Structure formats: C-alpha cells, structure tokens
C-alpha cells in the first residue's frame, strides 16, 4: 500500500505542522528537525497518576506552589470508582490537592476518559500545545492540536514550572485516498497502517494525515490520532479544516479556529505514504503486538469469552451507534461477556437519549461507568488464564488486561459487536 516514499530534498522550503507549531511555542522564526526548543505548553494533563506525581514534589509545592491553576487538567478515570483502599486514598489525595491549589479544570469519577474530556470540554484546539502523563495524549491531533505523552516526573516538573523541552521531529505525511467500503471503519484504517509500517514505523516522528480526510468526523479522527503512539509517533494530527471548524462551533469555540500551524504545501517530509482506503477491509490486531494485524477473515475461527466496546479509542457516540446497529433486537452469544463503556458522561447521556443504551443493554451488554474500564487490567473485567477478549481498545500487550495467560485481539466497534453475537471473531460485513 506504500505507493511512494520521497526523501528529504533541497527543493523543499516550507514547514510541516510540527515545525510551525514548535517554532511558535519555541519563540523562533523557524526550526529544523533535531533542534531542541524550550516550550510552555497550553495545558498539562494528568489522571489518577496525579497522586504519584505530587508525591514527588511535596516540599517544592509548599515552597513554590504551582505555576498556574488553569494550566493543569486533572481527570480521575483510570481506576474509577476506586477499586481498593490504595486507589481510594490516591483519589482523596488528588481532591485535596485540587482544593488546596485551586486547580480550575478537575473532572472527578464518572465524568469520562481523560482524552475524551480534554477534547469534549474544549481544552485542545487547533494549533495548541498539550502534554500529558499518558501515552494516548496524542489523540488531540484529531482537532489539530500538537499533543504528546510524557512521564510522571516530567509532569511533576511542569506543574511547578509550566515549562519543558521538545525536540523538533521529522514528519511523515500519510495520504488517505478514496472512500471506505461498507463495514470498514477508521479503526480498520489505523490498524492497517500500523500493520503496514510496524509498531516502530513512526518512532520519534510527527504524523500528519492528509488526502480525502473531509469524510472523517472528529470522532473518526480521534480514533486514528489516538493510536499514533502505537506506531511510535510523537504526535499525530489532522490539520484543522472545515470539519474542525464545524466541531468547534458545536462546542461554542468558533473563535478558536486557527490554521496558522497547518503545513505548507512545499513542506519537507521524511516520508509520504499513500493509502487507497477503498482497498481496506476489516482487520484484527492479534496477540501480543498492535502491529500483528490480520484480515478478519483469517481469524474467524477464534472463540472469544469477552468483548469490550469503549475506551479512549472507540467509546464515542458513533461507536456505540455502530454496535447498536448490529445488536438491535438480538441477544449476544451466551458464552460472551459484553462490556460497554461510554467515553464520557455526555456520550452516556446522548446514548441513553437516543435509545442506544437500551438496545445494548437488552442485547446483554454490561454498561460500565465512563472511564478506562478494564483496558489497563486493574479492574472491571480482568481476564482469566486461557481467555480471549476482542476489544476496541488500542493495546493488546501480553498481560495488559491483568492476566499474562490471556489473549487480547483489537478490532472496530462493528467487528466487536458482530463477534459478541456469534461467540467467535466475525466479519461484520456478513451482518450488514
């Protein structure tokens, strides 16, 4: 599917998205890949790990305070409601911190997955810079932001100073051409790309999505950008366009539309990779790496005991609607547990209002509170040895869902819903 790769050449004069944005935040006229710039991001996201982060800097917090109460975005989502005394105590400590330092953007248990809330609440906008102590921070490229993951120690330092360094990455342009066939979804696009270029295919790179992207809603783009880190990308972005502008209007943020960091037509890319997405089909990432991608038809004999629909990758309204379209009036297979997690309270309420929760619940789904659920293996659906889960999440590493003798397969909401009905991995096109 890689139709052409064009290497860096002298004729290119323009700047990529990453170069423009890091020049702006680094207060430089222009920057080059490899250059290190000091930046003050617009926001820092931390979640349940805020407790461990503030523990590192207790005395500094007392001496210096935090850099800015509007800088920090804190969301409790990873282990919610608390699963143990320890996690409950962490949550308590975070609430105390929020109160003591007047943190302005705090979302407590049940509001949703952090990445969903950052976008839904309008904290990420085109041309903004966000960092977060979570690898899927790269999701905000869906709305044209530059967003990337950092570790807890760096988050601690940022809380105090509001400042960090970033190396300017080289950029990869991915051109998505044509239209998807019926039953094939944006999840299949990103899984196919990762299967093609490998789990390290974009390491340290900024990935820009171009081509026929007007057909993709912000929700579609979210799913694709979310998995940028699964190919090693520093960030993944859909440069702001009419779709972004329309979305910002629905949030009441029309004035935040900004195309000043959109790449120049003659920008210099390390690679340009073109995908004809009309050729793509439903795929599944098989254990235990995200790039072990196979066409769904090659794995239909595999029986599953658990299905998971949700997470920051695929827990939005359109994802729940897609699953409901296959499950309406039907009942899931008796040997399958079907877990559904709306990505936020807002998604949950819309899904209730539009009858989607009714359909899923009557089909046999267990509806979990908006949050990360069992994706990280801490609670709410941990697997037993020998079990298999088909999930809409973004990671299928060994042990990820709490048991190293279990297997995780990743697929689209349509494939997961179709498979929940049959008890084995199923091509959703057979049911549409």
Number of residues that bind other proteins (CB under 8 A): 52
The pair of three-digit structure tokens given for residue 197, joined into one six-digit string: 């270029």
Is there binding between residue 69 and other proteins (CB under 8 A)?
no
Q: Which is nearer to other proteins, 103 or 150 (CB)?
A: 150
Q: Are strands 36-39 and 164-167 parallel, antiparallel or unpaired?
A: antiparallel
Least distance (Å) from other proteins to the CB of residue 400?
5
DSSP assignment string, 17-80 = HHHHHHHHHTT-S---TT-EEEE--SEEEE-TTHHHHHHTTHHHHHHH--S-TTTEEEE--TT-
Q: How far is CA 16 from CA 166, 177, 343, in A?
A: 16, 20, 31
Locate all alpha helices (DSSP H) within 298-401, ordered by sequence: 311-314, 317-327, 345-353, 356-363
Binding region for other proteins (CB under 8 A) out of 24-32, 133-141, 338-346, 355-363: 133-141
- For residues 124 and 141, the answer to whether their CB atoms sit within 8 Å is no
Rounded distance between C-alpha atoms, residue 245 and residue 266, angstroms: 24
Q: Which of residues 231-260 bind other proteins (CB under 8 A)?
A: 232, 234
Is there binding between residue 2 and other proteins (CB under 8 A)?
no
Is there binding between residue 70 and other proteins (CB under 8 A)?
no
Binding region for other proteins (CB under 8 A) out of 116-124, 146-154, 272-280, 301-309: 146-154
Q: Which is nearer to other proteins, 282 or 371 (CB)?
A: 371
Least distance (Å) from other proteins to the CB of residue 181?
31
Q: Is the peptide bond before 241 cis (omega within 30 degrees of 0)?
A: no
Q: Which is nearer to other proteins, 89 or 335 (CB)?
A: 89
Rounded distance between C-alpha atoms, residue 115 and residue 78, angstroms: 11
Is there binding between residue 399 and other proteins (CB under 8 A)?
yes
Q: Give the residue, chosen from 40, 108, 110, 199, that forms a contact with other proteins under the rule CB under 8 A.
A: 199
Is there binding between residue 181 and other proteins (CB under 8 A)?
no
Is there binding between residue 115 and other proteins (CB under 8 A)?
no
Close Cβ partners of 212 (under 8 Å, ≥ 6 residues apart): 176, 177, 178, 179, 277
- The three-point CA angle 154-58-95 to 5° equals 90
Q: Give the residue, chosen from 41, 127, 239, 377, that forms a contact with other proteins under the rule CB under 8 A.
A: 377
Residues lying near other proteins in the complex (CB under 8 A): 36, 48-49, 52, 55-57, 60, 63-65, 78-79, 84, 86-87, 90, 132-135, 137, 149-154, 156-157, 160-161, 165, 199-200, 203-204, 229, 232, 234, 289, 376-378, 382, 395, 397-400, 402, 404
């Amino acid at each position: 599917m890689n139709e052409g790769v064009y290497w860096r050449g002298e004729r290119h004069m323009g700047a990529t998205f990453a170069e423009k944005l890091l020049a702006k935040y680094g207060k430089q006229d222009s920057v080059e890949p490899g250059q290190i710039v000091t930046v003050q991001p617009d926001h820092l996201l931390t979640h349940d790990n805020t407790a461990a982060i503030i523990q590192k800097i207790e005395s500094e917090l007392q001496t210096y305070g935090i850099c800015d109460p509007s800088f920090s975005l804190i969301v409790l989502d990873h282990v919610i409601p608390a699963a143990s005394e320890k996690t409950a105590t962490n949550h308590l400590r975070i609430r105390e911190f929020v109160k003591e330092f007047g943190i302005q953007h705090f979302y407590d248990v049940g509001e949703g997955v952090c990445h969903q809330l950052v976008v839904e609440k309008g904290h990420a906008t085109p041309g903004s810079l966000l960092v977060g102590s979570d690898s899927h921070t790269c999701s905000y490229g869906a709305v044209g932001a530059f967003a990337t993951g950092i570790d807890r120690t760096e988050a601690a330092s940022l809380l105090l100073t509001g400042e960090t360094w970033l190396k300017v990455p080289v950029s990869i342009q991915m051109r998505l051409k044509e239209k998807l066939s019926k039953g094939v979804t944006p999840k299949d696009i990103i899984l196919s790309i990762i299967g093609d270029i490998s789990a390290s295919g974009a390491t340290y790179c900024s990935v820009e999505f171009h081509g026929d992207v007007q057909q993709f809603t912000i929700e579609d783009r979210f799913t694709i950008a979310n998995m940028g880190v699964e190919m090693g990308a520093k960030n993944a972005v859909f440069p702001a366009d009419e779709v972004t502008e329309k979305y910002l209007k629905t949030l009441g943020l029309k004035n935040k539309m900004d195309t000043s960091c959109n790449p120049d037509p003659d920008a210099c890319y390390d690679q340009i990779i073109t995908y004809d997405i009309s050729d793509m089909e439903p795929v599944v990432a098989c254990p235990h790496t995200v790039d072990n991608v196979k066409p769904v038809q090659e794995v239909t004999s595999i029986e599953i005991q658990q299905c998971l629909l949700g997470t920051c990758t695929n827990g939005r309204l359109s994802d729940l609607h897609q699953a409901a379209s296959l499950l309406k009036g039907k009942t899931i297979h008796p040997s399958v547990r079907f877990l559904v997690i709306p990505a936020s309270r807002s998604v949950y309420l819309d899904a209730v209002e539009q009858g989607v929760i009714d359909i899923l619940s009557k089909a046999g789904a267990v509806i979990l509170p908006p949050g990360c659920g069992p994706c990280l293996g801490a609670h709410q659906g941990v697997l037993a040895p020998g079990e298999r889960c088909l999930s809409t999440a973004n990671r299928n590493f060994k042990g990820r869902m709490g048991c190293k003798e279990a297997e995780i397969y990743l697929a689209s909401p349509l494939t997961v819903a179709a498979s929940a009905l049959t008890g084995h991995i199923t091509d959703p096109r057979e049911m549409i």
